[in-house]
Amino acid sequence: MKIAVLAGDGIGPEIVAEAVKVLNALDLDFDMESALVGGAAYAATGHPLPEATLKLAMESDAVLFGAVGDWKYDTLDRPLRPEQAILGLRKHMGLFANFRPAICYKELTHASSLKPELVAGLDILIIRELTGDIYFGQPRGRRIATDGHFPGAEEAFDTMRYSRPEIERIAHVAFQAAQKRSKRVTSVDKANVLETFQFWKDVVTEVGKEYPDVQLDHMYVDNAAMQLVKEPKRFDVVVTGNMFGDILSDEASMLTGSIGMLPSASLNSKGQGLYEPSHGSAPDIAGKNIANPLATILSAAMMLRFSLNQEAAAQRIEAAVQAVLAQGLRTPDIWSEGTTRVGTVEMGDAVVNALR
Ligand SMILES: NC(=O)C1=CN([C@@H]2O[C@H](COP(=O)(O)OP(=O)(O)OC[C@H]3O[C@@H](n4cnc5c(N)ncnc54)[C@H](O)[C@@H]3O)[C@@H](O)[C@H]2O)C=CC1
Ligand SMILES: CC(C)CC(=O)C(=O)O
Ligand SMILES: [Mg+2]
């Protein structure tokens, strides 16, 4: 089994190092090979997703990914920006199904910005479509407007689009995930305004008829954003498009205590996957040994489960994470009175020591 390790920028190398440390401590038989990605790859090779990196990712059983991006690259032409590396990997590998579980560990009930009773026992699965929508739709660009409110003015435009097969396959993923949970799917859309999302709603409804055991409801994205902080436990599986899923999953992360707690798995139809924390490269805290590595470590557990057929090892990691939280160890983002503040490396070491 081969794992491509792509650490990237900002806190990426720090958090990935801790996940690799945990994987190595499991004593399993897999090869890990690292490659440059994002701003680090641009600085070294002139491209954020070099051919060699893409090739390594495509021929690996799984990719462990940190994060890409740094403010210093924000003025580059878009194809050269670090973020194009993760978008390119998602596109080239066909990683259309993004799982973002928002679980509030009981030890972190008080780390959330919400009242403890709202988040205690929270376990939501956000399923985000990852290769379509306005993030990938063409055409896009800048031009001089020929119509609209200001003809003759400079304007920019993007294209929101979804095809029937794209919606059908992510809907099947969501319904099948719900069958293994509490059998409820909330499809989040903006069908009251957008044609793309009326189509989304219609197709999800059709697919839902194939799953009579799963209860389907629909919610507009603005209401979903509100309900997530008003009554988050009303949700079980949430399925939505690329952009809404991006935004709602960052919001949901705060229900768990921190974005540093939210892992993710991005899967294609061949069983290959890319595993990364849901957050970005956090340049504001990079190099300070304060980033929370648990989202990345938990992403490595998802990798063992979904791509490497190592369920027992995945559970060992998850139990170790729970154990370090029970020991009261906290990186600054999840620290609260009465707990022990530790750094990125110390948190990784603690997880290794807690492995059984
Ligand atoms: N998949 C990826 O590689 C992603 C890359 N990005 C890129 O990351 C860069 C920074 O973007 P932001 O909007 O600031 O989002 P971000 O997720 O990197 O950071 C948002 C806030 O959360 C904090 N944070 C994030 N991860 C943390 C962790 N593990 N432990 C403790 N605190 C953590 C940061 O310090 C910051 O205050 C940008 O270049 C952006 O494009 C953003 C999201 C995903
Ligand atoms: C570079 C972005 C598209 C990544 C992002 O924000 C995400 O996947 O959550
Ligand atoms: Mg995001």
Residue 105 lies in a domain: no
> Could you report the per-residue pLDDT of 121-140, keeping only the tens digit for each?
999 999 999 999 999 999 99
Residue span of the structural domain in which 224 resides: 123-254
Task: Tell me how many domains the chain contains.
Answer: 2
Residue 328 near residue 340, CB atoms below 8 Å: yes
Q: Is 25 inside any structural domain?
A: yes
Beta pairing, strands 273-275 & 265-267 = antiparallel
pLDDT at position 277, please? 98
Cα torsion 46, 49, 50, 51 to 10°: value is -150
Are 207 and 228 contained in the same domain? Answer: yes
Q: Which atom of ligand 1 is nearest to the CA of 12?
A: 3
The number of the ligand 1 atom at minimal distance from the alpha carbon of 69 is 39
* Same domain flag for 132 and 180: yes
Report yes or no on 231 lying in a domain.
Answer: yes
- Give residue 174's pLDDT: 98
CA-CA distances (angstroms) from residue 286 to 67, 92, 126, 281, 289? 11, 29, 27, 8, 7
Q: Are residues 166 and 236 in the same domain?
A: yes
Residue 340 gets which letter from DSSP?
E
What number does the ligand 1 atom closest to the CA of 68 have?
3
- Active-site residue, selected from the candidate residues 135, 162, 211, 275: 135
Domain end call among 226, 254, 282 = 254
- CA torsion sign for 27, 33, 36, 37 is negative
All residue ranges of the chain with pLDDT < 50 are: none
Q: Is residue 209 part of a domain?
A: yes
- pLDDT (tens digit per residue) in 153-189: 999 999 999 999 999 999 999 999 999 999 999 999 9
Is the same domain home to 246 and 268? Answer: no
Asked whether residue 112 is domain-assigned, the answer is no
Q: State the pLDDT at residue 282.
A: 98
* Residue 234 CB neighbour total at 10 angstroms: 13
Helix (H, G, I), strand (E, B) or coil at 115: coil
Non-local (6+) Cβ contacts of 161 within 8 A are 132, 133, 134, 137, 196
User: How far does the centroid of ligand 3 lie from the alpha carbon of residue 149, in Å?
Assistant: 31
Q: Which residues pair with 217 in a beta bridge?
A: 186
Domain assignment of residue 71, yes or no? yes
Q: How far apart are CA 1 and CA 12, in angstroms?
A: 23
Q: Are residues 62 and 135 in the same domain?
A: no
Judged on CB neighbours under 10 Å (0-12, 13-18, 19+), 247 is middle
Mark whether 281 and 239 lie in a shared domain. Answer: no
Shared domain check, 338 and 281: yes
Q: Are residues 128 and 250 in the same domain?
A: yes
Same domain, 239 and 131: yes
Q: Please report where in the chains the tokens 């403010």 appear, as a residue.
A: 71
Cβ atoms of 24 and 299 within 8 Å: the answer is: no
Cα 97 from Cα 159, distance rounded (Å): 20
pTM equals 0.97
- Domain check: are 280 and 232 in the same one? no
The pLDDT score that the predictor gives to residue 2 is 96
Is 115 among the domain residues? no
Q: Which of 221, 254, 287 is the last residue of a domain?
A: 254
So what's the pLDDT on residue 17? 98
pLDDT in tens, 276-312: 999 999 999 999 999 999 999 999 999 999 999 999 9
Residue 218: CATH number of its domain = 3.40.718.10
Known active-site residue 135 = yes
Question: Which strand (E) or helix (H) includes residue 216?
Answer: strand 215-220
Predicted pLDDT of residue 271: 83
Instruction: Kindly write down the DSSP assignment for every residue of 27-54, as one continuous string.
Output: T---EEEE---THHHHHHHS-SS-HHHH
189 lies in a domain? yes
Which of 65, 86, 99 is the pocket-test mutation for ligand 2 (most atoms within 8 Å of CB)? 86
Provide ipTM, 2 decimals.
0.99
Is there a binding annotation on residue 15? no
Does 194 lie in the same domain as 136?
yes
270 lies in the same domain as 246 = no
Residue finishing a domain among 231, 254, 277 = 254
- Sign of the torsion formed by the C-alpha atoms of 284, 4, 31 and 304: positive
Q: What b/e string do you get for 168-180 counting C-beta neighbours within 10 Å, with b at 16 or more? A: eebbebbbebbee
Specify the residue with its C-alpha closest to ligand 1, atom 39.
69
